A and B are shown apart, each in its own frame.
Chain A
Amino acid sequence: MEGNQDSSSHLRLQSAASLKASMLKNSTKSNLNIYDHLTRLLIKMIDEQPQNAVDVVEDMSLDIKRSLFEDKETTLRDLPETTASELLAEQQRLLFSQPEEAEQEDEQVETPLPNVSEIGFYLEQAGVGLGREEMQRVFLALKQLVESQALLRCRLWGKILGTESSYIVAEAECREWEEEEEQITDEAAEEEEREDKTSESEDNEVDPLPQSTYKTPPVVPKEAAGTGANKFFYYVCKEPGLPWVKLPSVSPAQITVARQIRKFFTGRLDSPVHSYPPFPGNEANYLRAQIARVSAGTQVSPQGFFHAGEEEGDEEDEAPQDSYEVNSDFEAIPVAEMAESLSTWVHHVQHILPQGRCTWVNLAIEPVEDSNEDGESEEKEEEPDEPEPEVGPPLLTPLSQDGEIFNTPPWSSKMSSTLTYQHAVAVLCSNSWPGAYVYACGKKFENMYVGWGLKYAGEGYSPSVPQPPQREYPSEPEITEALDPSLEEEQALREALEEQQAAQEELEDADEDEDEYAD
């Protein structure tokens, strides 16, 4: 019996030993063996004591294998890569530089810098914002702008999203307009030159090309800086901390084309705008045109906050006035009332007429003011029919008079909070320009636009159809193809020519004779 037991235990030991030996065999691939691996796994399990160890055993085993991986020493070193965030952080660090102390003392005068953190607080109540930290960066970037430029007034206008990057837009009132005017004259001169050149080349040619009967329609003159759609200057930057870029002023043609097209912004100011009808200018111009349209449509204030400027009182019937003053006697309208009725809100930016200007200009008569625009020479022929002047709603019109677009009311209003309505703010959001918001609370209000810079287009945008093709040149004998002459006809012609030549020679001979006699 004992011998039997001995031999069986011996057998068992032997098989265990052979199993151990096979488990200790190193793998040809990884040079590991399962015995050591299980040992390590159990040690790890005893050390870490994970919950539900059986469920995560595979992960742990993988972890151990991974940790055993030996990194072979290499002489190559990683090239430290500068990421975009590092570059941006370097740029944004400048925003946090401490101002010199001397400046802080004479801060008694009113600063053009708006209190962005307060605006941000109220906007957050309204459910709008760029995020608290981002708002703070924008605040500092605005401070940088105000310090670097001589601005009378500055405001955070909003943000326009683009496909590659976004624009943060600041609205500013400047002291100096000169720079802008120079540019306009340059452009005008350039175009005149071009016209001269074309006329010269036409004179030199013997056979002048047929003149085109197409007359370019008169160009609507740009509004002077400081008035109408060009009342403010706009600065944009891609990220707070990056340099601010001043946008060029907007021309009526750009506004009218911008109304017909529907394009995303790319985020690069110098990229061309591919569209039909062709947009006059690049993305900077398009951006400026959309900003003008958004401002005209959605910049509103509580009724009574502004009142009409007095200086222009007499001219009211002629031109829509474009100035207003802050009403010092303004009394806050209760928030509940503001959230309820649209008639407590008024537009404080002029409506842009179909012409693309805020004040209508009659193109049939020659403009008296020197607007530095070309195309005036063509207007000399007086048009018999006087065009109907376009009139928009006057400044400070209540929102309740805004028209519906695509059966959608133009504004939605609400209270920021229904639970603590005693301290809520009234919020309006525009449905015609999705992304335009305004809040009012007591005597404070602010407009903000964050969106794609596109107007609500109802069910679908239908692009304008290209113009019909030009008519063919009228078919006249000079350009119609004639039949080839037959042989007989050719011979007849030759004979006739020969006869003619003979007659001429005779005549010449006679002449010579006469000359001889004269000598």
Chain B
Amino acid sequence: MDSNLLGYSLELVAGSGCTLNVEKRTALETSLVILKKNYKFQRVLFWGKILGLKEDYFVAQGRGEDEMEDKKNLYSFNCIDWFLLPPATDALIDLVSRVTKGRFIGDPSHVYEQLEIHRQGEGEGAVEEEVVTTVNEENRLAVTVHLIDEDVSVVPRGAFIKNRRGLVQMNRSFGGLSHSEVAKLDSFLHFSKPKNLKKKSILEMGELNPALDFLDVLSDDIPKGSWSLQFECGSKVCVLRSLLWLGLTFYHVPMTPLHGYVYIGDGNKNLDLPFML
């Protein structure tokens, strides 16, 4: 959610149970302005909070000229001092997925260890070699934030456009989805690199507008029903909750450009989803 509308936006997603207290809100409002200046961001988002056993990580996201490519994530404990997260490379994602499990601790230097036994040779001449792979929690946080953004970041259709230079930017003339559009999952898009778009048939592609429909639609997600769409706060705001990453809440007030998402959860993917529907 945009840092400029933090208080109001938090009120809209409060139906999920998590808010920030006034101290944290004011601290964020102060520090994110400084953050934006220091890192030369176009826009700063309050991304969310990852609950640790000892401390919680607050995560902010800075966006550059291209909203989709120029992203930088930062974390903080006290909402004042921010630290840049390392970029999540494929190798790091692989490492983290193998080594880490369970809840976050709340200490960025905490080291997760995984003992792997590699066997070389065959039969009796096999040599067992113990390999300890380690990764620290800061890297895990970076990967988790990246994965959540990849999997479940949401924007309403039309809120972002791809301009002629291929940059993804906010659509300044976006006036919000209508009441009938907002009740359908087709009107919401994944704000990450499209994966299903090229698989669509020409017939389906014919109705799409290349400037707006350059992202994947939520209704194509597998398994079906991995989103919960509701109207809250006296039915005035449309709230989408991801059941895959429990804790991700997206909000959009129909007929206004107001939209955003926040993740407040334990940073673990809900792998039990197929059993739970």
Contacts and interface: CB of A to CB of B under 8 A. Distances in A.
Interface string B247-268: 0000000000000000000100
Interface string B222-240: 0001001011111110000
A69 to B, nearest CB: 16
Given A59-B173, A128-B18, A165 B230 contact: yes
B53 A412 contact: yes
B101 A164 contact: no
A309 interface: no
Contacts of B241: 161
A408 B234 CA distance: 38
Contacts of A504: none
A420 B22 CA distance: 12
Interface stretch (B9-17, B132-140, B194-202): B9-17
B21 interface: yes
B177 to A, nearest CB: 14
A365 B46 CA distance: 62
> Among B19, B51, B54, which residue has the most Cβ atoms of chain A within 10 A?
B19
Interface string B38-82: 000000000000010110000000000000000000000010000
Interface stretch (B90-98, B149-157, B204-212, B269-277): B269-277
Contacts of A412: 51, 53-54
B271 to A, nearest CB: 5
B193 interface: no
Contacts of A132: 11
A124 B54 contact: no
B187 to A, nearest CB: 16
Nearest to B13: A131
B53 A129 contact: no
B20 A127 contact: yes
B235 A264 contact: no
A435 interface: yes
B53 A166 contact: no
Nearest to A274: B277
A264 B277 contact: yes
Given A161-B16, A434-B266, A408 B102 contact: yes
Interface in A126-175: 126-134, 137, 159, 161-166
B275 A131 contact: no
Interface residues of B, dominant DSSP: loop
Interface stretch (A13-21, A226-234, A375-383, A449-457): A449-457
A125 interface: yes
A92 B234 contact: yes
A96 interface: no
Contact of B275 (A159, A262, A431): A262
Contacts of A429: 51
Given A125-B21, A163-B228, A164-B230, A407 B14 contact: no
A412 B271 CA distance: 24
A403 to B, nearest CB: 15
B179 interface: yes
Given A130-B14, A264-B276, A408-B53, A83 B23 contact: no
Contacts of B141: none
A406 B102 contact: yes
Contacts of A264: 243, 276-277
Given A163-B225, A165-B230, A463 B275 contact: yes
A130 B249 CA distance: 13
Interface residues of A, dominant DSSP: loop
Contacts of B235: 83-85, 88-89
A510 B16 CA distance: 100
A131 B272 contact: no
A214 interface: no
A84 B238 CA distance: 12
Contacts of A463: 275
Nearest to B23: A417
A163 B231 contact: no
Contacts of B110: none
B246 interface: yes
B103 interface: yes
Nearest to A261: B275
Q: Size band of the A side of the interface? A: 35 or more
Contacts of A134: 14-15, 232-233
Interface string A408-443: 110010001111100000000101001100000000
A458 interface: yes
Contacts of B21: 124-127, 416-417
Given A133-B11, A164-B230, A419-B23, A459 B173 contact: no
A431 B233 contact: no
Interface in A269-291: none
B24 interface: yes
A99 interface: no
A130 B102 contact: no
Interface string A90-131: 001000000000000000000000000000000011111111
Contacts of B275: 262-263, 461, 463
Contacts of B228: 161-164
A84 B231 contact: yes
A131 B246 contact: no
A460 interface: yes
> Among B16, B17, B241, which residue has the most Cβ atoms of chain A within 10 A?
B17
A417 B276 CA distance: 37
Contacts of B277: 163, 264
Contacts of A452: 246
A431 B18 CA distance: 15
Contact of B53 (A59, A84, A409, A450): A409
A373 to B, nearest CB: 31
Contacts of B20: 127
A89 B230 contact: no
Nearest to A63: B173
A130 B173 contact: no
Nearest to A416: B21
Interface in A308-347: none
A130 B17 contact: yes
Nearest to A56: B172
- Give me the 5 closest cross-chain CB pairs, A-B, nearest first: A450-B17, A131-B14, A85-B235, A461-B272, A163-B228
Interface of A: 59, 83-85, 88-89, 92, 124-134, 137, 159, 161-166, 262-264, 406-409, 412, 416-420, 429, 431, 434-435, 450-452, 454, 457-461, 463
9 contacts: A59-B173, A84-B231, A88-B234, A129-B19, A133-B233, A264-B243, A408-B53, A450-B16, A459-B102
Given A85-B235, A130-B17, A412-B51, 7 more contacts: A128-B19, A131-B19, A132-B11, A134-B232, A134-B233, A159-B15, A161-B241
